[in-house]
Structure 1
Amino acid sequence: MREMSSPPLADLTGVRNTTDLLAGRVAGHPDAVAFDVREPGAPVDAPWRPVTTAAFEAHVRAIAKGLVAAGLAPGDAVAVMAPTRYEWALVDMAVWYAGGVVVPVYETSAQVQVSAVVLDADVRLAVGGGPRHVELLTHALAEAGRPAPVWSMDAAPGHDLTALVALGADLLDDVVDARRTGADLDDVATIVYTSGTTSAPRGALITHRNLVGQVLSVAAAYTDVVREGGSTVIFLPLAHVLARGLQLVCLAGGMRIAHLGDPREVVPALAVLKPTFLVVVPRVLQKVHAAATAAAADKHLGRVWASAQRTAIAWGRLAEAADEAPAAAPGTAAPGTAAPAARGSDVVPARPSVGLRLRHAVYERLFYRRLRARLGGRVDYLLSGAAALDADLSLFFRGIGVPVIEGYGLTETTAPLTGNLPGSIRSGSVGVPMPGTTVRIADDGEVLARGVGVFRGYRNPEAHAEAFVDGFFRTGDLGSLDERGRLVLHGRVKDVIVTSGGKTVSPADWERYVEREPMVAHAMVVGEGKPYLGGVLLLDPESVAAWAHRHGIADLGPLQLPSGGAVEVHDSRLVAAIGAVVAAANARLSAPEQVRRFALVLADLSEASGTVTPTMKLKRAAIAERVRDIVDRLYHGAPSPA
């Protein structure tokens, strides 16, 4: 199959722009709780303050009045730079209520990055989370020749949101009403700068039609997830279109939202907030699984836990097989009426064997229910995006009773382009096209997209011209469609390696397999123009320390992250342990696709280091530059053999 389309499910008739999603909710459910808000400085286990839809909109209107009074004209761009927090949601919607265009800036951005965005997007006003963000934005506006006050979400007398509200206190509601309804669906709602894994960030023009269409399509396709009375915790960066889209879906669909800016607070907060679903990136699921593995090892239950993992995967595979055929497009079939294709070893019995049922019951009491409790005890689904998820990890979570709905999208597609569906989850795939979307596979394997979520284009005309072919957006990803129209990703076009022997290799499968090992934060295959492939395995210091503790290795010591650059780790025990994973990955591939030599590398993998994106995707060019000498030794020295 080379092309798959899903029919539209969203009716945009009568919707003026994105603000109607909130206005409509207020009209129908003014007293419903929309947000749970933590008081400043309070611990995560303290009571969270409920905020109703009406109260949220009242505050949005007050901030919008302040923006108008501060000089915001219709169509003006407003930069917002802050960690994920409730005030982000307020300002985001307030800018639209005031008729402006939102320009999110990642809160970890350096001055040069902030200045580039402010200049390119023609930003006129700005709101920062705290003193650092305010300072960066103030400097950027001055550099751009447009000095203006920058308002703070943190308390800052005379310069915070309270002061901004006071500035517009005398404006009438009619002013905001006129501004709110001034933009139509085809006007630009937000300019989102791509995270730049392979190139410089580019400003994507996302319209109100893109946002409204995606919100209504997701709500129609995922009624089991998006439901009145549901709740979630948003801890992904709100500067990313995925988190903002999720926020709009929840706001329009009657689901409570809580925000956390520090991922380390997520697990303790889940016990208090008890969400019904979570949106995560694969690395989060890897860490949850790794933590459970480490805990079992500490209690000398390693072999029992290994059996529990196999049991969960078998149960998850059986559950997938139980999803009945025929498959359907999103929203056109009831849950449980679509089935994945069975292939080879994926064929499983229609019912669990007595032995599998007994093992699952035992491990349910020992492990599975405790893992679900760590997620709050009420999670019906996990939604995973931003990077490919290992198939066995997906099956594991389904086997413990928390299905993972994997999807795929980009900034330029306003987040979801494809997605698995409740009742039709196929691990290893990212699902069928979203409603109103067509996915086409080009002759060279590139994934092309057209539909309601595909953006208007880039601000840069040259980048825009290169981004489309025959009316389809070029995603830059390689993929294929299975017989049911589900998309399977095979890596990035720009990541394809051609060896000196002329062999063309897409490294994604090898990298994903090796990244199953918790000690490997990221795997990167190298070898362009070389006689064989090499591997750079970036270590996770916390997981390495846990491994050393479990094996009684005291002299390895805590790995110290280098300040800039990267260092190679030569510990023979660590090399041997990870070498076994490399060998297993190689065994799955033909000889030219195997990694002959690899290096274990320690590098700063924080977002601030410039090596990963805010959603934890590796910036390959940045890492390649830092490990150039290490890579050279893979071909001229005597590094670890695979």
Structure 2
Amino acid sequence: MRDSATALLVDVSDHRNVTDLLTRRALAAPDHIAFEVPPHNALDSAWRQVSTREFHNEVRALAKGLIATGVQPGDTIAIMAPTRYEWAVADLASWFAGGVVVPIYDTSSAAQVASIVADASVVLAIGGNSAQLDLLDAAFTKTGTGALGAWAMDETSPGQPRGSIADLAARSAEISNRRLEARRALADLDSPATIVYTSGTTGEPKGAVLTHRNFLGQVLNIAAAYGEVVHAGGNTIIFLPLAHVLARGLQLICLASGMRIAHLSDTSAVVGTLAVLRPTFIVVVPRVLQKIQAAAATKAADRGLSKVWSAAADTAVAWGELCERREADSHASPHLGLRLRHAFFDYLFYRRLRDVMGGRVDYILSGGAALDASLSQFFRGVSVPVIEGYGLTETTAPLTGNLPGNIRSGTVGPPLPGTAIRISEQGEVLARGVGVFAGYRNPRHNKDAFVDGYFRTGDLGSIDAHGRLVLEGRLKDVIVTSNGKTIVPTLWESAVESSPLISHAVMVGEGRSYLSALLLLDAEETAKWADAAGVVLAAPDATILDEVADAGLRRHIQAAIDAANSLVAHSEQVRRFTLVATDLADTTLVTPTMKIKRNVVLQRAASAIENLYR
């Protein structure tokens, strides 16, 4: 198949703009708990519960304050902060005030912040802490933007030169309800709602303009398609950056559907928080699932149960495969041996793994990178199905997705309601639909962005017989060797990255006679390995890509290389590799969503690459 489409489930024409999602929910269920806000101190302290009415009132008060301080319809408002409740308040309040939201990752550098506020002509900004506010102030001074200043999310001390959103909300009495309602209703479906700057994995960041129609089309149709996952009886924890459109879209879906939301910016506290809040649904990137599985394997090894765990993992994968077959053929059933093994390992391992995730997770959504099919089947086998989806900033996040009761590992599912995909002659995935944007803020970025009314995603893929999309790599990542072989590195790289020790694998070989690879080490997992092996590794130089030459570590990782090579043709196999330690918090090297900037890696590792061909 070269085309696949799914019909629209919900028409958005009866909505004025995104703010209707909150106003309608506040009318329908004002006392329903919409958010849980963490305590300032101990993790096990009581989380503060916020009803829909309370959230609506906070949003309205801040919106009035924004208007009182001078925000005009269509003004751009930047939000730069970690994932937290106040981010949600600021986001909705900006829309109520008639503004256009410009999210900025809280890890952005001074140059990145300055570039965004200048390109978007930001008028006012809201920052999470003093460091982010200092960056915003410096960017405003440098670019001549920010006429209405930068405001803190937390209350400031009396006499401080900088105000807070509480100070803005305190001015709400200056604006009447009628004036606020008139401002709230100004934006229509085709008005810009947000300008989201892409992460720039292959070039300079671009400002994608997403409309209220894009958000509403996605929110209402995804909520309709995933009612079994997102519902008023469930709850979730958002720990993805809210500057990412997926997290914001998820937040709106949950808000409109009555699903309770908690925010968490400290990813090291995720496991403890899962046990406290016991979510029914979470969104992760594949790396999180890999680490959960690896941690379980390590714990089993510490108890001398490595072989037993290996059998348990194989059984979970087999059970997951069976579950998928049963969705297509109701007559498929497990044989007695598999049923007995699964029941035994459920008692020994699986239930404990579910308890680590809080004990109530019905589904996990995975996105942001390719998910290995066997990893998906493993979690299905431990009774926590993984729904893999695919989307981009330019498609207002989800474009395709597997559905409850119809999951096929190795695919990212069919188009979501109101969306169509096409595979070009070159194998590129093309898209159009309710979430697909109309274009970038800068017209020159729109050149070659569309073809025949479809957005060019830059991803390679195919469509299976059931209309599901199978991703095959990035168009710009394709390698052509000196003997004319065209190589798509994604399968090999993803296989190697399944090793807990490897954070990113980068295949190289453009114009060369054979393929090599740079393997960027996961600092935490490598430290654990070194400690267990009694090896002392030199601390990496954070400013460079530092080659690690330990022979024992190379031997350990060789198994992952051999496994990856067994999955591909001989011409696609990697002959040589080098291990690299570096600072993976470096925003010039890795995007805020943990995607590697391949071109930057290749530039910085030029000498290491040359060594691979000597």
**Larger CA deviation: 454-463 vs 440-449:** 454-463
Query: Structure 1 pair 468/170, CA: closer, same or farther in 2 (3 Å)?
Result: same
Which residue, 490, 514, 527 being the options, matches 2:472?
Answer: 490
Partner of residue 599, structure 2: 621
Offset, 1:155: 2.2
Deviations 1:259-296 (A, max 9, x none): 00111111100111110000101111111111111111
- Cα distance in 2, alignment partners of residues 610 and 236 from structure 1: 19
Matches of 2:29 and 2:135 in 1, distance apart?
39
Task: Name the aligned partner's letter for residue 205 of structure 1.
Answer: V
Instruction: State whether structure 2 residue 326 is matched by structure 1 residue 322.
Output: yes
What letter matches 1:485 in structure 2? G
Alignment of 1:131-150 (within 5 A): 131-146=130-145, 147-150=147-150
Deviation at 1:557, TM superposition (A): 2.1
Superposition pairs for residues 628-639 of structure 1, below 5 Å? 628-636=606-614
Q: Which residue of 2 aligns with 1:531?
A: 513
Check whether the contact 2:365–2:386 (CA below 8 A) recurs between aligned residues: yes
Matching residue of 1:72? 71
> Alignment partner for residue 195 of structure 1, among 176, 191, 199?
199
User: How far apart are residue 449 of structure 1 and its match?
Assistant: 0.1
Aligned counterpart in structure 2 of residue 228 of structure 1, from 223, 228, 232? 232
- Deviation at 1:521? 0.9
Equivalent residue, structure 1, for 2:344: 362
Partner deviation per Cα, 1:428-481 (whole Å, 9 max, x = no partner): 100000101000000000000000000121011111122101110000000000
Q: 2:123, 2:149 within 8 Å by CA — same for their partners in 1?
A: no
1:126 corresponds to: 125
- Measured in 1, the distance between the counterparts of 2:25 and 2:538 equals 51
Partner-residue secondary structure (3-state), 1:35: strand
- The one-letter code sitting in structure 2 at the alignment partner of 1:507 is P
Task: Indicate the residue corresponding to 2:568 in structure 1.
Answer: 589
Letter in 1 for 2:2: R
What displacement does 1:562 show?
1.9
Cα-Cα RMSD: 1.2
Aligned equivalent of 2:544? 565
In the aligned structure 1, how far is the partner of 2:270 from the partner of 2:571?
43
Q: Provide the C-alpha distance between the structure 2 equivalents of 1:613 and 1:371, rounded to a whole number of angstroms.
A: 30
TM-score (norm 1): 0.93
Question: Could you tell me how far 1:549 is from its partner in structure 2?
Answer: 4.3
1:138–1:148 CA contact under 8 A, matched in 2: no
Q: Give the counterpart letter for 1:448 in structure 2.
A: L
Contact kept in structure 2, 1:283 and 1:616, CA below 8 Å: no
SS of corresponding position for 2:613: helix
Distance 2:411 2:123 in 1: 42
Shift of 1:204: 0.2
- 1:454 maps to what in 2? 436
> For 1:45 and 1:626, how far apart are their aligned partners in 2?
44
The 3-state SS of whatever aligns with 1:521 is: strand
Partner secondary structure for residue 133 of structure 1? helix
Q: Partners in 1 of 2:496 and 2:542 — Cα distance?
A: 26
Counterparts in 2 of 1:228-377, with a 5 A limit? 228-324=232-328, 350-377=332-359
1:250 is matched by which residue type in structure 2? Answer: C
Contact residue 109 and residue 587 of structure 2 kept, 8 A: no
CA distance in 2, matches of 1:12, 1:580: 52
What are the residue-to-residue correspondences of 1:393-432 with 2, within 5 Å?
393-432=375-414
Name the CA distance, whole Å, in 1 between partners of 2:212 and 2:444. Answer: 24
Structure 1: stretches of 5+ with no match in the other structure: 326-335, 337-348, 637-642
Residue type at the aligned position of 1:449:
A
**Following the alignment from structure 1 to structure 2, what is the Cα–Cα distance between the partners of residues 610 and 365?**
46
Q: 1:269 to 1:574 in 2, by over 3 A?
A: same
- AA in 1 matched with 2:265: G
1:601 aligns with 2:580: yes
Cα distance between partner residues in 1 of 2:592 and 2:241: 7
Q: Does 1:468 align with 2:450?
A: yes
Q: Deviations over 1:173-209 (max 9, x none)?
A: 1111011111000000000000111111000000000
Q: Is the 8 A contact 1:611 1:618 kept in 2?
A: yes
| CA shift for structure 1 position 588 | 2.1
TM-score, normalising length from structure 2?
0.98
Q: Supply the AA of the counterpart residue of 1:116.
A: S
Structure 1 counterpart of 2:22? 22
Q: CA deviation at 1:559?
A: 5.4
- 8 Å contact 1:104–1:192 — kept in the other structure? yes
Q: Distance in 2 between matches of 1:230 and 1:618?
A: 34
- Tell me by how many angstroms 1:560 deviates: 2.1
Instruction: Report if the CA contact (8 A) 1:405-1:419 is conserved.
Output: yes
For structure 2, which runs of at least 5 residues remain unmatched after alignment?
Answer: none
Superposition deviation, residue 617 in structure 1: 1.2
Per mean C-alpha deviation after superposition, the further-off stretch among 84-93 and 562-571 is 562-571
